[in-house]
Amino acid sequence: MKKGTKILIGIAIVLIIFRLLLPTIVLRYVNNALQNIDGYTGHVEDIDIALIRGAYQIEGMVIEKVDNEVKEPFMALPLTDLSIQWSALFKGKVVGEITCDSPIINFSYGPSEEMQQTGAETDWTLVIKDLMPIEINRFTVNDGKVNLINIMSEPQVNVSLNQIQLSMTNLRNAEESEERLPSDVNLTANFVGANAPVVFNAKMLILKEIPDFEFDLSVDNYPLQDINELTKFYTGMDFEKGTLSMYSEMGLKDSQLEGYLKPLTKDLKIFKFNENDTEGDKRSVGEFLKELGAEVGSKILTNRKKDQVAAKIPIKGNVENVETTFWPILFSTIKNAYIEAFKKEFENQYYFSKIGTEKSDEPKK
In the chain, % of residues over pLDDT 90: 26
Domain limit, last residue, from 175, 196, 217: 196
Mean per-residue pLDDT, 314-324: 66
DSSP per-residue letters across 311-327: --EEEEEETTEEEE-HH
Cα separation, 89 vs 357, in Å, equals 40
Task: Characterize the bridge pairing of strands 96-101 and 136-150.
Answer: parallel
Which of 316 and 319 is assigned the larger pLDDT?
316
Domain co-membership, 320 together with 182 = no
Poorest-confidence range of 169-178, 310-319, 344-353? 344-353
Cα separation, 309 vs 355, in Å, equals 29
CA torsion sign, 11 to 12 to 13 to 15?
positive
Domain co-membership, 184 together with 72 = yes
Q: What is the pLDDT of residue 7?
A: 78
CA distance to 75, 120, 146, per residue, from 108 (Å): 12, 12, 11
Q: What is the pLDDT of residue 254?
A: 85
pLDDT at 323 over 80: no
Q: What is the pLDDT of residue 168?
A: 94
Note down the domain range covering 89.
Answer: 1-196
Q: What is the pLDDT of residue 359?
A: 54
CA distance to 62, 203, 261, 320, 348, per residue, from 352 (Å): 38, 10, 15, 18, 12
> Number of folded domains in the chain?
2
3-state secondary structure of 226: helix
In a domain, 305, yes or no: yes
Cα separation, 193 vs 29, in Å, equals 40
Cβ–Cβ < 8 Å for 98, 139: yes
How confident is residue 345, by pLDDT bands cut at 50, 70 and 90? Answer: very low
In a domain, 287, yes or no: yes
How confident is residue 280, by pLDDT bands cut at 50, 70 and 90? Answer: very low
Cβ–Cβ < 8 Å for 257, 318: yes
In a domain, 44, yes or no: yes
Domain co-membership, 185 together with 225 = no
Q: What is the pLDDT of residue 1?
A: 67
pLDDT at 260 over 90: no
Cβ–Cβ < 8 Å for 300, 276: no
Please name which of 149, 136, 134 lies closest in space to residue 104, comparing C-alpha atoms: 149
Please tell me what DSSP assigns to residue 92: T
Cα separation, 84 vs 92, in Å, equals 12
In a domain, 70, yes or no: yes
Q: How many CB atoms lie within 10 A of CB 310?
A: 24
Q: What is the pLDDT of residue 300?
A: 45
Our measurement of the distance from residue 30's CA atom to the centroid of its chain's CA atoms, rounded to an integer in Å, reads: 26
How confident is residue 278, by pLDDT bands cut at 50, 70 and 90? Answer: very low
Cα separation, 39 vs 217, in Å, equals 32
Domain co-membership, 29 together with 79 = yes
Q: What is the pLDDT of residue 284?
A: 53
Segment 119-176, tens digit of pLDDT: 877 888 888 888 888 888 999 999 999 998 775 556 666 788 999 999 999 988 766 7
pLDDT at 286 over 60: no
pLDDT at 118 over 70: yes
Mean per-residue pLDDT, 298-312: 58
Which of 314 and 355 is assigned the larger pLDDT?
314
Domain limit, last residue, from 173, 196, 219: 196
In a domain, 288, yes or no: yes
Domain co-membership, 184 together with 262 = no
Domain co-membership, 143 together with 165 = yes
Domain co-membership, 307 together with 235 = yes
Cα separation, 353 vs 214, in Å, equals 9
pLDDT at 85 over 70: yes
Domain co-membership, 143 together with 274 = no
How confident is residue 350, by pLDDT bands cut at 50, 70 and 90? Answer: low
Question: In sequence order, which residues have a C-beta less than 8 Å from that of residue 272 and are 6 or more positions away?
Answer: 240, 291
CA torsion sign, 113 to 118 to 120 to 122?
positive
Our measurement of the distance from residue 348's CA atom to the centroid of its chain's CA atoms, rounded to an integer in Å, reads: 22
Task: Characterize the bridge pairing of strands 136-150 and 159-169.
Answer: antiparallel
Segment 16-42, tens digit of pLDDT: 887 778 889 999 999 999 998 888 999
Cβ–Cβ < 8 Å for 122, 37: yes
Mean per-residue pLDDT, 280-293: 49
In a domain, 202, yes or no: no
Q: What is the pLDDT of residue 20?
A: 79
Alpha-helical (H) ranges within the chain are 3-34, 86-89, 124-131, 228-235, 285-300, 326-338, 351-354
Segment 48-63, tens digit of pLDDT: 998 888 899 999 999 9
Domain co-membership, 54 together with 151 = yes
Domain limit, last residue, from 166, 196, 226: 196
3-state secondary structure of 25: helix
In a domain, 33, yes or no: yes
In a domain, 201, yes or no: no
pLDDT at 335 over 80: no
Segment 184-232, tens digit of pLDDT: 999 999 998 888 999 999 999 887 767 888 999 999 998 888 877 766 7
Cα separation, 30 vs 8, in Å, equals 32
Q: What is the pLDDT of residue 183?
A: 92
Q: What is the pLDDT of residue 189?
A: 96
Cα separation, 79 vs 49, in Å, equals 13
pLDDT at 287 over 60: no
How confident is residue 330, by pLDDT bands cut at 50, 70 and 90? Answer: very low
Q: What is the pLDDT of residue 340?
A: 38
Domain co-membership, 21 together with 134 = yes
Cα separation, 48 vs 27, in Å, equals 9
3-state secondary structure of 246: strand
Cβ–Cβ < 8 Å for 216, 204: no
Domain co-membership, 38 together with 170 = yes
Domain co-membership, 98 together with 247 = no
